[in-house]
Chain A
Amino acid sequence: MSPKIERKHPVNALILGLLVSLGLWIAPQDSQAEYADVVINNYADAAGMRPAVFPHWFHRIRFRCKVCHADLGFQFKAGGNKITMAKIIDGQFCGACHNGEIAWSVENCAMCHSGIPGTPTHFHGSTLQRLIAPAYKPLDTKETAGVKYDENNQKK
């Protein structure tokens, strides 16, 4: 795709300049992607596949959060579910629907594996990510230290 660098051709040099600057402009950390899009890239890059991109907006038009996060057991953590293709074809995670019954089937690799190579796992547009500096931690760090509760709601 990228034009050959040919110094004799002014137009090419200009286009190159533009492409380089556009490339910088839309670099992942500065991306404009839809709020709540998740890039999942625990393993994909290493296996030579583009990272998977999961669009929340698209799925929440069709399903309530409960379907995925209660019934199908997706944890609230980007990359935290350790999704693999072996699990997907066994009907877990994305495979609970992308099976040719509820949604198109898994052979459409590039529909999910559509991320820019090298993009790390992240949640696009999160408030945390958009803060200029890390959020202020209160002096009382009881809760930020992560108080945990057991099944009976007693502090552990």
Chain B
Amino acid sequence: MNITARFTALALPALLAGSALLANAPALAAGAASAPAVSDANIFNRNLKKDAEVNPPPWEDGIHDPENEATHALQPPKEAYAGLPTTTFGNHIDWVKALDDGLLRPRWDRINSNEEPFVMDLDIVRPVKASMPDVVFPHRQHTEWLFCSNCHPAIFVPQKGANQISMSAILLGQKCGVCHGKVSFPITTASCKKCHSKAKPEGWSPPLSDATLKNPWK
């Protein structure tokens, strides 16, 4: 639902309820009553949810209490994000690029700001059975932020191909989904190719399912 539709859907009935109490506002009530009645069941976007506002300040974000004075002392994300490379999902910030370009210097150690991360440059290619490009898991970008023990062995056995990973597990918050979809970039149409980044070989086509091969009606 876009912001206006949503606002109208929710605000109008309440406004009308308000104005119905008023003897001096019959025009508004009458105008709305004569509008054609499309049932709510036939609303254009039944399930689409769009963010009304990207990176809103804490006091408008719906989880911070605007009645709490300290809420207004918190930093609005947009202020901090000024000048950082953008994306269209998650925080709408390309954290990897921001780090690579030297626009951020997050500490690797709580106290010592000069300690360097233990970066390992090792790509793991995971062939995908479906038509999607194969998945490349890059250790470099991960070890810029994380330590080996954040993933090994609790989330992944450190051995190529030893872990069974599927998209449904990821969407359920397991495997890559422990972080992706929570803190690191989320799973959405515009982000698929960040993971599915290695083109399939020339002429590759998806295997036909048994149900098609044995289809009695064909």
Given A16-B18, A69-B146, A119-B63, A126 contacting B157 (CB threshold 8 A): no
Kindly list chain B residues whose C-beta atoms are within 8 Å of the C-beta of A119.
63
Given A16-B18, A126-B181, A127-B171, A34 contacting B77 (CB threshold 8 A): yes
A35-69 with Cβ < 8 A to chain B: 35-37, 39, 50, 53, 55-58, 60-67, 69
Given A58-B75, A66-B150, A108-B70, A130 contacting B11 (CB threshold 8 A): no
Give the nearest-CB partner of A67 in chain B. B110
Kindly list chain A residues whose C-beta atoms are within 8 Å of the C-beta of B161.
none
Kindly list chain B residues whose C-beta atoms are within 8 Å of the C-beta of A127.
171, 173, 177, 180-182, 186-188
Contact bitstring A102-114, B, C-beta under 8 A = 1, else 0: 1000001011011
Which residues of B are interface residues toward A (Cβ below 8 A)? 6-7, 10-11, 13-19, 21-22, 24-25, 47, 49, 51-53, 55-56, 58, 60-65, 67-71, 73-75, 77, 80, 90-93, 95, 104, 106-111, 117, 144-147, 149-150, 153, 157-159, 162, 164, 166, 168-169, 171-175, 177-183, 186-188
Which one of B17, B49, B159, B166 contacts A143 once the chains associate, using CB atoms below 8 Å?
B166
A69-127 with Cβ < 8 A to chain B: 69-72, 76, 96-97, 102, 108, 110-111, 113-117, 119, 123-127
Are A32 and B109 in contact, with the CB atoms below 8 A? no
Are A125 and B47 in contact, with the CB atoms below 8 A? no
How many A-B pairs with Cβ below 8 Å? 221
CA A71 to CA B108, docked complex, whole Å: 10
Are B14 and A18 in contact, with the CB atoms below 8 A? yes
- Give B214 Cβ to nearest chain A Cβ, in Å: 18
Kindly list chain A residues whose C-beta atoms are within 8 Å of the C-beta of B153.
149, 151, 153
Which residues of A are interface residues toward B (Cβ below 8 A)? 1, 7, 10, 13-14, 16-18, 20-22, 24-28, 30-37, 39, 50, 53, 55-58, 60-67, 69-72, 76, 96-97, 102, 108, 110-111, 113-117, 119, 123-128, 130-132, 135-138, 142-144, 149, 151, 153
